Amino acid sequence: MDFAASPRAKELTDLVTTFVTEEIEPVVDDYHRDVARGGDHTTWAESQIMTELRAKARAQGLWNLFLPVGHDQPYAEQFGTHGGAGLSNLDYAPVAEAMGRATTLAPYVFNCNAPDTGNMEVLLKYGTAEQKQTWLEPLLDGQIRSMFGMTEPGVASSDATNMAATAVLDGDDVVINGTKWFSTGVGHPDCKVMIFMGLTDPDADRHHRHSMVLVPLDADGVEVQRMLPTMGIYDEPVGHGQVRMTDVRVPQSNLLLGAGRAFEIAQGRLGPGRIHHCMRLIGQAEVALELAIKRGLSRTAFGKPIINLGGNRERIADARMAINQARLLVLHAAWKLDTEGAAPSEVSQIKVVVPNVAQQVIDMAIQLHGGAGMTQDLPLSAMWTNARSLRLADGPDEVHRGVVARAEIGRYKEATR
Amino acid sequence: MDFAASPRAKELTDLVTTFVTEEIEPVVDDYHRDVARGGDHTTWAESQIMTELRAKARAQGLWNLFLPVGHDQPYAEQFGTHGGAGLSNLDYAPVAEAMGRATTLAPYVFNCNAPDTGNMEVLLKYGTAEQKQTWLEPLLDGQIRSMFGMTEPGVASSDATNMAATAVLDGDDVVINGTKWFSTGVGHPDCKVMIFMGLTDPDADRHHRHSMVLVPLDADGVEVQRMLPTMGIYDEPVGHGQVRMTDVRVPQSNLLLGAGRAFEIAQGRLGPGRIHHCMRLIGQAEVALELAIKRGLSRTAFGKPIINLGGNRERIADARMAINQARLLVLHAAWKLDTEGAAPSEVSQIKVVVPNVAQQVIDMAIQLHGGAGMTQDLPLSAMWTNARSLRLADGPDEVHRGVVARAEIGRYKEATR
Amino acid sequence: MDFAASPRAKELTDLVTTFVTEEIEPVVDDYHRDVARGGDHTTWAESQIMTELRAKARAQGLWNLFLPVGHDQPYAEQFGTHGGAGLSNLDYAPVAEAMGRATTLAPYVFNCNAPDTGNMEVLLKYGTAEQKQTWLEPLLDGQIRSMFGMTEPGVASSDATNMAATAVLDGDDVVINGTKWFSTGVGHPDCKVMIFMGLTDPDADRHHRHSMVLVPLDADGVEVQRMLPTMGIYDEPVGHGQVRMTDVRVPQSNLLLGAGRAFEIAQGRLGPGRIHHCMRLIGQAEVALELAIKRGLSRTAFGKPIINLGGNRERIADARMAINQARLLVLHAAWKLDTEGAAPSEVSQIKVVVPNVAQQVIDMAIQLHGGAGMTQDLPLSAMWTNARSLRLADGPDEVHRGVVARAEIGRYKEATR
Amino acid sequence: MDFAASPRAKELTDLVTTFVTEEIEPVVDDYHRDVARGGDHTTWAESQIMTELRAKARAQGLWNLFLPVGHDQPYAEQFGTHGGAGLSNLDYAPVAEAMGRATTLAPYVFNCNAPDTGNMEVLLKYGTAEQKQTWLEPLLDGQIRSMFGMTEPGVASSDATNMAATAVLDGDDVVINGTKWFSTGVGHPDCKVMIFMGLTDPDADRHHRHSMVLVPLDADGVEVQRMLPTMGIYDEPVGHGQVRMTDVRVPQSNLLLGAGRAFEIAQGRLGPGRIHHCMRLIGQAEVALELAIKRGLSRTAFGKPIINLGGNRERIADARMAINQARLLVLHAAWKLDTEGAAPSEVSQIKVVVPNVAQQVIDMAIQLHGGAGMTQDLPLSAMWTNARSLRLADGPDEVHRGVVARAEIGRYKEATR
């Protein structure tokens, strides 16, 4: 149960931290001004700032660091030039925390952003050679981006078996119909492919009805209908889109792993991604706490630095205690995922704890800043929205609490829901 | 301690509720599409929808209902045609709750929106005949809008004596310098005047240093520098602006009540306004709760309506209990304000309790909706932002908790802060 | 919706407050020392202090004030000398709050203590003339006390239909078997009768299976097995007992209202009793807040009165806001109970809110006192235990939340649990 | 940052767990019946059960396990027969958690109970050869017990410099006056000595005014005035006493480390003790969670196991997440204490987090048990009282939050309180 990062992970964390501080933070505001376009568009332009940052990061070897390439050595050799760092989840954790400090840019700068990371892992693990060549290689190379089509507007997506979109086998093809939303990344001009999840065989058992299919976004019948703000924020140029598919036809060779195996793939896809999300949120909570203290020291009211007024110091202490506990919980989940291959309760635990802790710490930091905390002058409102949305994305808190409870109660008796 | 609304207030509440339901709610989405422009502008266009709604509301006598005209009978006669309803705070409370159900439009439809309401009350109570004719009449008549220039970006505005902008007497004029922000309303094309608060005499005692001055927005030296989003939302076409004043010169006849009397005016201005804000928030919390239940009944997951999953029913109960308590607390504060003329602790109590309750109930409703709750398809994200911002606007929670504590502790001994 | 107390209620509240302050508070410690015996006993001795206080209170007409005698005028005439004050629930509320300030003694001093109050109301409303003469008269007269036998150790009593004790009709008799616990009052030497609730007809529908029967405690087969501490406190000489009944035989004339009608009686019994409990808790929360502030002003640490350290002033404010909201909620429930005869959601709301608020405020007061707050030198630990136990007594929070949710959701659709 | 226990620690944890389960748990109720005496006494009798358990534990080598003897090798040789296990704080943590499962007995069974552990560490570290022989040896040998005299009834002891009791140097003697309370252990017949802390030189600087002195409890002038319940519980036969010292005279050779050095000693004394307390609380929280689940599975209401009603499963999940985070935080603090010698912020963090988590989890477990949870039939009420009291003992939450805030804010600037 050793949570210390390896020397290689420490070195990468330092490099990423330096890059974030010296290269990214100074241009964050310019970048956001560059890409700000609001919600009238369904595709936005990328900023030249990002192109340059990505080139610079890649030149320093800070590229695809999330990729546990060691798990698939032959592939590592094949794509060595843009291969990952071979880090365990525990080792990648502090790297992700460092990226979290500039969360709206950094993950993409280092080609470590969701949902591309999860999609690349799926392709790496389950893709055919052809699928790898067509989609994985350009993703690893940063030429294209991707989206993941799972959540639907018409059903309670917290129960994944509710999914209504269809992927029907028809001759050599798969015919796809339905609407997905909260498809992150689809607003980006480089977004070229979706991993689509849909119903293939309604008569199969609950967890073998759905398939995953690779769908090029320029296929006939794919329409990005609109972009969705989360709490008023569009996250340009990435965006979260609503995508309608009408009789979209792709060859069966675009199926991942074969028909009816979507849940099997989804299962493995989400663990590491949740570690990444949570560690980035820890990074954001640290930024929020730091901003709160600095503001509290620099502004005065009623004759005192505001940090010394009322319960403010207690709030700082509460934030520190909450962050430390949350980080240790994530490291423990990562360690268990690394050592046991799966840690469903632990991963659900962090998925509940960390976004809530981050939301509270950021809310506190906003409050300590007064009105400024809610403006575009500070990253707090974007960070808040990100934390809030992660209480729903990848499964709402309530579903994850259910997973934790089932594991806990199951130790004593198999209780029905 | 009778909290029942008068027959007149009940009638008005019913009329407003019907108007909100039948006239406003059906056009809310169209309206927001019409005015959506994002943050690149400092002035937005108003929508024709609003013009028509206002005309219709006024034709039904649903106009300036906030105005306690009975307090100033002569004036009521003079401006009878657009005069208020003469309601007490307690009687206006349910009217405001009804408006809160469509909070982004309704207050303005009925000419009952902040900060115009507070500004009109100030002019009514403290304005000269000339000031009334020039500014109050067109405000009551709905020809113009106004802003209130108090909060500043460079200081902790929670301590109002920190204010750095200046209103210096110079011959017959007042010369104004400084920057104000979170100036709500300044983005609207009809916004023509500000009530500015600034430092006149740094040597006077703490609460007699500042003055309030009427400043036309087209005066030389007034510059709206930019609009500020709150948590990503610009509230077009109203907006919250940052306004820079450089050597703005207005005649001393624009002073309200005379130099050095700003705090005296501010004191009386905020009580009723806080009742309004809080009752509108109660209206929003009710909408959120209603939406949550309807969604919970209509969507299913794991074989049940989601309202019946996990702790959801308990959350509904908690929301009901919190809203009921919050509403009673506001009614009690309104009743005390009416009967005793002032209720500083009670008004501070509602200013803490209600935005927090509203934020929590809305957050719960968002969670129950899944991703949809965060999109523009539902009013929840705008309502959430409104509630969150009201934990800072008109004084942060912490300052109001301080007021409540002082009153409470003062009952036993005069304790220093 | 007028929450103001009537002149008569105000007068009684003042008299009770004065009596509590001048007569009861000075002897509280002596009283508790007098009756302290621990848990080895199943019956304790009463203190002479109590006997004298009761005589004095009665002489001042402060006796049976809870009794809404006006509801039953003929009876009022018959038992006028020890009759109640004819107060509505709303009017009795501040009287109960005043008694709450010395909650371990005052209710009994004024013959207004649970469960005697509820039992007297049941007898008044449903008792035969003979039952009234035998049991109600001596209860009103303060000669005897009573217990209520409902909760059982072997089942989840939160679902009252779980009840396993039996009241079987046999010839002219009712034969009673089973074990009841948390039978408050049974430790008192004057406790002479129980209202027992048990299963009569397992084949009847869910709410007509059980009967209520008057059982003298000296009947053959009744055994008080032991006294139960709540959180370590035995509440001598009242106590909460475990009572075993083995083939106890009483005549059918001891049935209340007839076989199978227990739920009908129970329904009406609990509303007013919950108002009383909640208002007494409000009184206790006020005492706790007062003690906290006084301690905070009188002790110093790190060079300041401790009230001014850290978040203490905010805690005082939070307590004030919570108490005020809770009290208004109770007054509203009382008002609704008076005007509409029943208010199930409102009564359940206060049953959740008030004990939780009281527990939190008392916990805060303990914390502010340091170790002293947990000792017998202050009433705080007894008050805390009382508040905590009321989150379970008369139905746990969770059941009451369920009632509130059902009412709320039922407004939109009849949803199943 | 390896939190895994050493093989030796794992083995000891297993042995202690087995001993607790097989030897202690079956006799807990008998033991408490044996020693129950209530508050009329100032000394209680020990039970034969304890004597036998201690002999058995010692025979298995489960004795003084807390003692980090390796730190003082010569002494280890000298007292090898009753020496400790030489465990680091991190290694002792799971052992303490195992003892926490039967917290009212187990620590004393294994001679690992507070305040003896802290007192033994002080003697080991700072005692003269004579002091060690006279007091440390019999403590290690389990012949006597001890108390620690720090907290005082008349001042806010959260600020240790408030201490008013005196230890005045007079010739070759020290003369002691004052009153201490919450002196845990003094009710035990074997309690023979106190480590007293009092004011020696009021003119010295703030942290050099006080001395620690060994005072035999049979010295002239020492009077145990009364025992103090915490929330109604006396913890017989250990007890928490109020001890008055009047002109107690002991030789200066009874001073620990010399006059004026009390704070220097206190500083080092508390770190490991807090780790022990917190890990025992973790053990109790685990017991509470286990009891809650088992009860929830075995009782039914409204046709379901109560674990499946309302938000109960979510509560189980929340408890699991809170406990896991709290445990990791303690392990991290222990690891830091071991590796860096001091960890003031981390130790204060656990001192806030763990008792609060334990209190909440135990409260939840009580609620899930209904009334039974508050009775003597289950360990929950005693566990609750223990957790609650530890939010005050060894410094109230507020003081520890202050320590955490100071460290956190100090990273940015030295801010004054």
**Residues C314, B405: C-beta atoms closer than 8 Å:** yes
For residue A415, the model assigns a pLDDT of: 46
- Indicate the residue type of C127: G
Cβ B54 vs Cβ B107: under 8 Å: no
Mutate which: D298, D325, D416, vs A, most A CBs within 10 A: D325
Residue in A294, A317, A332 closest to D412 by CB: A294
A303 interaction partners in chain D (CB closer than 8 Å): none
For residue D417, the model assigns a pLDDT of: 45
Cβ D45 vs Cβ D124: under 8 Å: no
**Residues A408, D317: C-beta atoms closer than 8 Å:** yes
Q: Measured between alpha carbons, how far is B271 from D194 in angstroms, rounded to an integer?
A: 60
**Residues D293, A408: C-beta atoms closer than 8 Å:** yes
Which helix (DSSP H) or strand (DSSP E) does residue C405 occupy?
A: helix C397-410
| B316 three-state secondary structure | helix
Q: Measured between alpha carbons, how far is C106 from A249 in angstroms, rounded to an integer?
A: 81
- Indicate the residue type of C165: A
Residue in A156, A311, A371 closest to B301 by CB: A156
Neighbouring C-beta atoms of residue B384, cutoff 10 Å: 26
For residue A42, the model assigns a pLDDT of: 87
B311 interaction partners in chain A (CB closer than 8 Å): 398
- Indicate the residue type of C313: R
For residue A77, the model assigns a pLDDT of: 52
pLDDT in tens, D24-48: 999 999 999 899 877 778 889 999 9
Q: Calculate the average pLDDT of chain C.
A: 93
Calculate mean pLDDT across residues D85-91: 91
Q: How far is B2 from chain C (nearest CA, A)?
A: 4
pLDDT in tens, C202-225: 999 999 999 999 999 999 999 999
CA distances A219 to A168, A210, A224, D295, Å, are 16, 21, 12, 57
C228 interaction partners in chain D (CB closer than 8 Å): 371, 374-376
For residue B71, the model assigns a pLDDT of: 39
**Residues C314, A313: C-beta atoms closer than 8 Å:** no
Mutate which: C306, C308, C314, C364, vs A, most A CBs within 10 A: C314
Which long-range contacts does A121-127 make (Cβ < 8 Å, 24+ apart)?
A: A121/A67, A121/A269, A121/A272, A121/A273, A122/A195, A122/A212, A122/A256, A122/A265, A122/A269, A123/A256, A124/A67, A124/A72, A124/A75, A125/A72, A125/A268, A126/A256, A126/A257, A126/A265, A127/A256
CA distances A37 to A147, B40, B335, C237, C247, Å, are 21, 9, 48, 75, 82
pTM here is: 0.96
> How buried is A156 (Cβ within 10 angstroms: 0-12 exposed, 13-18 middle, 19+ buried)?
buried
DSSP A257-303: SSTT-HHHHHHHHHHHHHHHHHHHHHHHHHHHHHHHHHHHHH-EETT
B163 token code pair? 């204010």
With a cut of 70, say whether residue D75 has pLDDT above it. Answer: no
Question: By CA distance, what is A318's nearest residue in C?
Answer: C311
Read off the pLDDT band of C289 (50, 70, 90): very high
C301 interaction partners in chain D (CB closer than 8 Å): 156, 158-159, 162
User: Could you read off the pLDDT tens digit of each residue along chain B, which spans 417 residues?
Assistant: 899 999 999 999 999 999 999 999 999 999 998 998 777 788 899 999 999 999 999 999 999 999 986 434 445 455 545 567 789 999 999 999 999 999 889 999 999 999 999 999 999 989 999 999 999 999 999 999 999 999 999 999 888 888 999 999 999 999 999 999 999 999 999 999 999 999 999 999 999 999 999 999 999 999 999 999 999 889 999 999 999 999 999 999 999 999 999 999 987 777 899 999 999 999 999 999 999 999 999 999 999 999 999 999 999 999 999 999 999 999 999 999 999 999 999 999 999 999 999 999 999 999 999 999 999 899 999 999 999 999 999 999 999 999 999 999 999 975 444
Mutate which: D290, D294, D312, D328, vs A, most A CBs within 10 A: D328
Q: Measured between alpha carbons, how far is A416 from A408 in angstroms, rounded to an integer?
A: 13
B316 interaction partners in chain C (CB closer than 8 Å): 404-405, 408-409
Q: Measured between alpha carbons, how far is B149 from B216 in angstroms, rounded to an integer?
A: 12
Read off the pLDDT band of C73 (50, 70, 90): very low
Mutate which: D302, D306, D314, vs B, most B CBs within 10 A: D314
Reported ipTM: the value is 0.95
What are the structural domains of chain B?
7-113 (1.10.540.10), 147-260 (2.40.110.10), 263-415 (1.20.140.10)
Q: Measured between alpha carbons, how far is D36 from D40 in angstroms, rounded to an integer?
A: 11
B311 interaction partners in chain D (CB closer than 8 Å): 310-311, 314
Q: Measured between alpha carbons, how far is D256 from D244 in angstroms, rounded to an integer?
A: 21
DSSP B162-202: G---EEEEETTEEEEEEEEEEEETTTSTTEEEEEEEEES-T
Cβ-Cβ pairs closer than 8 A, A with D, add up to 134
DSSP-assigned letter for residue D253: G
Question: By CA distance, what is C333's nearest residue in B?
Answer: B324
Q: Measured between alpha carbons, how far is C219 from D249 in angstroms, rounded to an integer?
A: 64
Q: Give the ranges where B101-135 is alpha helix by DSSP (H).
A: 106-109, 116-126, 129-131
C299 interaction partners in chain D (CB closer than 8 Å): 155-156
**Residues B314, D310: C-beta atoms closer than 8 Å:** yes
For residue B414, the model assigns a pLDDT of: 58
Q: Measured between alpha carbons, how far is B132 from B120 in angstroms, rounded to an integer?
A: 9
Closest CA to A132 of A218, A254, A219: A254
Neighbouring C-beta atoms of residue B294, cutoff 10 Å: 16
Q: How far is B375 from chain C (nearest CA, A)?
A: 24
Residue in D353, D409, D416 closest to A293 by CB: D409
Q: What φ, ψ does residue A377 adopt, rounded to 5°? A: -70, -20
Q: How far is D313 from chain B (nearest CA, A)?
A: 7
User: Could you read off the pLDDT tens digit of each residue along chain A, which spans 417 residues?
Assistant: 899 999 999 999 999 999 999 999 999 999 998 998 777 788 899 999 999 999 999 999 999 999 986 434 445 455 545 567 789 999 999 999 999 999 889 999 999 999 999 999 999 999 999 999 999 999 999 999 999 999 999 999 888 888 999 999 999 999 999 999 999 999 999 999 999 999 999 999 999 999 999 999 999 999 999 999 999 889 999 999 999 999 999 999 999 999 999 999 987 777 899 999 999 999 999 999 999 999 999 999 999 999 999 999 999 999 999 999 999 999 999 999 999 999 999 999 999 999 999 999 999 999 999 999 999 899 999 999 999 999 999 999 999 999 999 999 999 975 444
**Residues B384, A231: C-beta atoms closer than 8 Å:** yes
> How buried is D218 (Cβ within 10 angstroms: 0-12 exposed, 13-18 middle, 19+ buried)?
exposed
**Residues B314, D313: C-beta atoms closer than 8 Å:** no
Closest CA to C176 of C207, C142, C217: C217
Q: How far is A310 from chain D (nearest CA, A)?
A: 11
With a cut of 80, say whether residue C179 has pLDDT above it. Answer: yes
**Residues D231, C231: C-beta atoms closer than 8 Å:** yes
Partner chains of A (3+ C-beta pairs under 8 Å): B, C, D
User: E-assigned strands of C150-190?
Assistant: 166-170, 173-184
Residue in B1, B308, B415 closest to C307 by CB: B415
Name, in order, each residue with C-beta under 8 angstroms of A392's C-beta and a sequence gap of 6 or more: B366, B367, B370, B371, B373, B374
How far from each other are the two terminal CA atoms of chain B, in whole angstroms? 32
Question: By CA distance, what is A407's nearest residue in D?
Answer: D317
Q: How far is C227 from chain B (nearest CA, A)?
A: 34
B240 strand-pairing partners: B184
Q: Calculate the average pLDDT of chain D.
A: 93
> How buried is C202 (Cβ within 10 angstroms: 0-12 exposed, 13-18 middle, 19+ buried)?
exposed
Mutate which: D40, D352, D392, vs C, most C CBs within 10 A: D392
Interface of C with B (CB under 8 A): 1-4, 289-290, 293-294, 296-297, 305, 307-308, 313-314, 316-318, 320-321, 324-326, 328-329, 332, 345, 349, 352-353, 398, 400-402, 404-406, 408-409, 411-413, 415-417
Question: By CA distance, what is A314's nearest residue in D?
Answer: D401
Q: Measured between alpha carbons, how far is D86 from D6 in angstroms, rounded to an integer?
A: 12
Closest CA to A369 of B153, B242, B163: B153
Question: By CA distance, what is D317's nearest residue in A?
Answer: A405
Which long-range contacts does A202-205 make (Cβ < 8 Å, 24+ apart)?
A: A204/A260
DSSP C62-89: -SSTT--GGGGHHHHHHTGGG------H
Calculate mean pLDDT across residues C167-178: 97
**Residues D39, C376: C-beta atoms closer than 8 Å:** yes
Closest CA to A296 of C190, D275, D412: D412
| D360 three-state secondary structure | helix
A20: Cα separation from own chain's centroid: 18
Q: Measured between alpha carbons, how far is D147 from C191 in angstroms, rounded to an integer?
A: 44
Q: What φ, ψ does residue A251 adopt, rounded to 5°? A: -70, 155
Question: By CA distance, what is B206's nearest residue in A?
Answer: A302
**Residues D314, B310: C-beta atoms closer than 8 Å:** yes
Cβ D126 vs Cβ D75: under 8 Å: no
| B130 three-state secondary structure | helix
Cβ C352 vs Cβ C404: under 8 Å: yes
**Residues C232, D233: C-beta atoms closer than 8 Å:** yes
**Residues C412, B318: C-beta atoms closer than 8 Å:** no
Residues in chain D: 417
A303 token code pair? 């004759």
Closest CA to C205 of C264, C146, C250: C264
Which helix (DSSP H) or strand (DSSP E) does residue D334 occupy?
A: helix D312-340
pLDDT in tens, B304-348: 999 999 999 999 999 999 999 999 999 999 999 999 999 999 999
